Structure 1
Amino acid sequence: MTLSDAGQPIVQLRDVHLTLASTAGPVNILRGIDLAVQPGERVGIVGPSGSGKSTLLAVLAGLEKVTAGEVAVAGARLNSLNEDGLALWRRSQIGIVFQSFHLIPTMTALENVAVPLELAGAADALPRARAALAQVGLAHRETHYPAQLSGGEQQRVALARAVAPGPRLLLADEPTGNLDGATGHAIIDLLFGEAARLNSTLILITHDDALAALCDRVVRIEDGRIHSVITPAAPARRKAAE
């Protein structure tokens, strides 16, 4: 089910709960999350390990079904969509960058970026994939396989793959977690730059408070609940855009 976009947050979570079964009994991962994100906003999500950050991202991407509550993201009520509907919605609306790249090892950089475009039926999948790789500085590496690329280059390919379809919402889960400091900062610059270029909303999950402070708001999650929401100082956000 789609929603009217007029005046709507791009993300609206109301009293979201997610409980998973385990051998020790039910585990409450998310415990009543209320969150609204406006189009074009940059939101950082922080919190200790096991607090529910990555699970929240999976909910926003339609990769996890909530136990209770309402989830409306990028024009759709996710509660009402089946797996096929979620896949179609995700393909056109969402770009995801993971910590571990998730590239297909038997495909070149160009082919990895072209895959979601081809699945969406884009007739110009290869030209758009080439343009996306050029945008992240990898035009000269399009015929290379993931094993022939450095970690930073692999993450650039993953970013190109995420932005090539022109998503309304970019989700990044610890995108610098497997990278050294300098490479990680370069990836963050590209991530924010691409979000700005596409006018996409960005939700960034990170353990690094300094990275989160580059966002418009920082949401801290503890024990499956929103503990606090702060607005970082404007100079930090401006520095990220320079």
Structure 2
Amino acid sequence: MSTIEKNLHRVGEQISAAALLCGRSPQEITLLAVSKTKPVTAIEQAMAAGQWAFGENYVQEGVEKIQYFCQQALAHDLSWHFIGPLQSNKSRLVAENFSWLHTLDRPQLAQRLNSQRPAGLGPLNVLIQINISGEASKAGILPDQLPALAALVAELPHLNLRGLMAIPAPQHCYEAQLAVFAEMTGLFTQLREQYPSADTLSMGMSDDMPAAIAAGSTLVRIGTAIFGARDYAASTD
């Protein structure tokens, strides 16, 4: 058993334990393996252990990996999520290669992605990023901007509004983490009432995953705990 396989098994156990502790089914929570800066050999080891959903933060690096796996027999089983900040001049690469975007944060970007998405790929699944902690340095929209952006996305034929994503300010207290995530869950509940296709709440990383799951996260983004420390010098962006 490879180290990555052992790590995936350990993370899976942690997800199950957190879910059961709050009365949820572990099957309600998707594990997104954040593979940024990691080589395709590491992704192949994760695939061998049954992991099929991967998150990338850097556009060119992610596209190169996607194109590599497009040549493999199992490529159609992979789900590629772009989870980093997206500059407008790189939106076409995301629209043409990825299945998901977690960081939609402005109307102009939504319109660009919609016009650039190839019809043969089907709609791009998008999550609206919420700056739930109100940090000036953090991407995402403020909660009161959500209705307008959601309404726009819902009208664009080549985008599929799937839910919300957040990266809260770091909190070392479980109760504080839970309180912030609960705010996100409230926004998500309101969104689902108007847009039934919204089924994904992407929140929770290694340091705050239990609180995110307790609050209602349906997708957690885990990288270092699976693949080990990252080498940011390896990024091609």
Q: TM-score range by the shorter chain?
A: 0.3 to 0.5
Query: Normalising by structure 2, what TM-score?
Result: 0.36
Q: As a proportion of its length, which structure holds more helix?
A: 2
Of the two structures, which has the highest relative contact order with CA contacts closer than 8 Å and spacing of 6 or more?
1
Query: Normalising by structure 1, what TM-score?
Result: 0.35
